[in-house]
Structure 1
């Protein structure tokens, strides 16, 4: 590059600052670039899938964590994009973005994870979590602390090494090297707050596993695995960046170390937390809704059955009491005129002409207790002596009947028909 020799794989119009992106001899740059580009695309797809699944989420407690998860995805995509700043060469803009955005983006990811762990701790103990705006406000508050720290650190660093005149070679070199001229230990020390967030996520995710509501422990396990893998990655790159590179590879290994750490940790965020969490947001809500519907429907059937049984028992008791008050009757309603055999039935409720006549006869000529009550029937017989018709009440089967005679004093006399 110093001799203006274009490396193999790069075109003549490519600047020397971007040789690591196309130089086929720099294997780590091409591999890291490929993983970073794939991570950006995958993060965008997951973000669209998360937003598209919001209308289909039935569980409100899970829907409250959508905002935090969306912020987490944005910060993860930012980590993939920041990887390209470590692949390309160093200048004022790339070094400034490296020093500032490294802690800010990681701080945003772990702040969202910590608030999700806080949400899970509340859910696993009370069954009801905070609202979505509370979680987002807490994540933003934790993230702003790292923003303030990195901003102050970057300003102090630049002010301590002021820029020289741009037309001066030394000044331009100092201007180019000012953000990059920072010791590795100073860079790591500026990330102490991010390390504190990582340890807080580990402790909070462990506390989730001690709750009583088991349906939320699966989400806590995702946070725990993500935080443990992140701890391993951070320990590896810090040891390599502070001690290993100085003894083994020199400063040329600094950029590959940070770029690989960014890509590895970002993919851990996607595979161990984001994808399982999005799956839980949709599948668990549907299954829980189906479970609640079945539960409520079964309860409704049970209540309905109990009400029916109670009502039938009450009706049976009332009918039984009503039947005890009433006189004994046939099981089926019988017409007062059905099966009439010539005798007066006591079940006649409405008086008829025959009933009126029989009552009058009883009043005029009461019978003894041994005699039978006969239903009178009207008949017409001719009288030979008087030449007039006399209405007669015949009797059936040779029994006694009453005949009306116009010449008698009382109008009725007793006759016998054989």
Structure 2
């Protein structure tokens, strides 16, 4: 039986959970606390989203709320997955790491991609995507990574055994882990490229939303480039540093999602609809009552013309007489 480290009160605690309370490996406790704070913040944002849904005045901002709620679910999962990397790698945490890492990030970036595509249409004054189309796009794109992860995990475990993730050498395991995330890397690049197109259009009010997505994706790319280089290129002090790098990347990217995208979007959520963000025929201050009053005036004017025209024969008869040179009928 492994010696219980200092800081863990339960003497019968399984060795796989020692990092959660080991004061000698303080990185696990720090990341655990930061991940827990991120999870609580994500839940708070989700509840706030449900409360504020009735106060959203702009219909196009209201349509993206289901996608943003799905995005927050993905962020919550990312913070929860951090604990799987703090706990020691074994036959149960191995499949969880390989499967959920790409699935959760693909869900988040798919939601950002759907939002960016909708903004790309709004900033040009085109008809925006419907709520169901954006939701279907986010779910559909993320399912690609789900299929890839399921095939990898199932085939790998069936080909050998459940302990294959712990039996692989750390360099080989890291290479397989990064290869499994190629679609997520492509999705990140596509989301960033799409968000750049949201800056091209006459309706500038939507460009701020595009800036949130662009900056979020750019920082995520930087975080991913850093941990991939640390795992595959830079020699680490030992295999135990792999879990530290990956769990730190999860926590950092989760907080980037919350601080750079979610928080600014919440600030704009209940903002009053600006007529300058839409074409004239779709503007909030469209002069409908002016058009209606204009129609009433036209009808009144037409009625007056009809009355005047009906009185013309009578005036003509009264004006006819001996002086007119025409006989009276």
Q: Name the TM-score class by shorter chain.
A: 0.7 to 0.9
List alignment gaps of at least 5 residues for structure 2.
Answer: 277-281, 309-329
Counterparts of 1:293 and 1:142 in 2: how far apart (Å)? 32
**Displacement, 1:127?**
4.3
Greater gyration radius: 1
Task: List structure 1 runs of 4+ shifted beyond 4 angstroms.
Answer: 178-182, 292-301
Counterparts of 1:151 and 1:294 in 2: how far apart (Å)? 47
Higher strand share: 1
Counterparts of 1:276 and 1:128 in 2: how far apart (Å)? 24
Spell out, residue by residue over 1:321-355, the C-alpha distance to the aligned partner (whole angstroms, 9 max, x if none): xxxxxxxxxxxxxxxxxxxxxxxxxxxxxxxxxxx
Counterpart for residue 18 of structure 1 = 17
If the length of structure 1 is used for normalisation, what is the TM-score? 0.65
Spell out, residue by residue over 1:206-227, the C-alpha distance to the aligned partner (whole angstroms, 9 max, x if none): 0010122111101000000001
Spell out, residue by residue over 1:23-79, the C-alpha distance to the aligned partner (whole angstroms, 9 max, x if none): 111121111101100011000000011111111112111111011101100000000
Spell out, residue by residue over 1:146-194, the C-alpha distance to the aligned partner (whole angstroms, 9 max, x if none): 000011111221122236xxxxxxxxxx478358975211110110000
Higher helix share: 2
Aligned length: 295
SS of residue in 1 equivalent to 2:257: helix
SS of residue in 2 equivalent to 1:249: coil
Counterpart for residue 322 of structure 2 = none
Counterparts of 2:98 and 2:284 in 1: how far apart (Å)? 55
**Displacement, 1:228?**
0.5
CA separation of 1:148/1:180 partners in 2, compared to 1, >3 Å: closer, same or farther?
Answer: farther
Counterpart for residue 281 of structure 1 = 269
User: Which has the bigger relative contact order, CA under 8 A and spacing at least 6?
Assistant: 2
Q: Contact (CA 8 Å) 1:237, 1:261: kept in 2 or not?
A: yes
Q: Contact (CA 8 Å) 2:91, 2:166: kept in 1 or not?
A: yes
If the length of structure 2 is used for normalisation, what is the TM-score? 0.82
Counterparts of 1:276 and 1:267 in 2: how far apart (Å)? 13
Counterpart for residue 113 of structure 2 = 114
Aligned counterpart in structure 2 of residue 212 of structure 1, from 192, 202, 225: 202
List alignment gaps of at least 5 residues for structure 1.
Answer: 164-173, 319-418
